[in-house]
Every structure is written in structure tokens, then in C-alpha cells.
Amino acid sequence: MNQDERRKIERRRNGGDYLLNDQQVALMAGVPARTVRFWRNSGILPFVKVGRHPRIWFSDFQKTFHKPSGKDAFEPVKNPVKIATARNIRRQK
């Protein structure tokens, strides 16, 4: 990780954002960690690499799956878009 990437991470952390691993995102979304990896690899969920480890910014998770409804709170979107999972894509073929 170069100096510019470290500065970007520090700026976001100072703004109140924090990084999550796949397990944490899976618990919050109520899906298996394998699905979170699929979302990352297919480009549905943006991520950054910290060393060798992929991490997801909480604000990116919120923007992708939820709408903010107050300070540090989120609620599910009323009309959620169906997000593709590996199982659904295999079934379509």
C-alpha cells in the first residue's frame, strides 16, 4: 500500500467511516460470507484491499443496500432491487 492509499484511508476514517471484513458484512446483510465474496468479485459491492485482505467501507455498504434514516442508523429500502447471487445465476443457465 502506497502513501496516497494510506492517506485516503485515514481521511475516510477521520470522517467517521470504517472498514468491514466479509464476515461482518454478511452478518449485517443476513447472507453467507460466500455471497458477499460473490458481490465483491462481480462488482456489485465496492471494496479496497488493505495488504492482501479485501475490506468494504461501511458507507459503501450502506449506499449499496440501505438508505440512511438517521445518525448511525439504517433501514432496509422499501423496494429493494433483487441482487444476483451465485445460486440464482447458475439456475438461470
Q: Where are the chain's structural domains?
A: 3-92
pTM of the model: 0.60
Q: 33 versus 3: which is more confidently predicted?
A: 33
Tell me the per-residue pLDDT of 34-90, one tens digit each, with 9 for 90 and over.
Answer: 999 999 998 889 898 888 899 998 888 888 876 555 555 555 445 555 566 666 666
Q: By mean pLDDT, which of 1-15, 22-36, 58-72 is the weakest? A: 58-72
Mean pLDDT across 2-25:
80
Check whether 33 has a pLDDT greater than 70.
yes
Q: Quote the Cα angle for 3-4-7, to 5°.
A: 90
Alpha-helical runs (H) found in the chain: 3-14, 22-29, 33-42, 58-65, 86-92
In this prediction, residue 4 carries a pLDDT of 77
Residue located via cell numbers 492517506: 7
56: Cα separation from own chain's centroid = 5
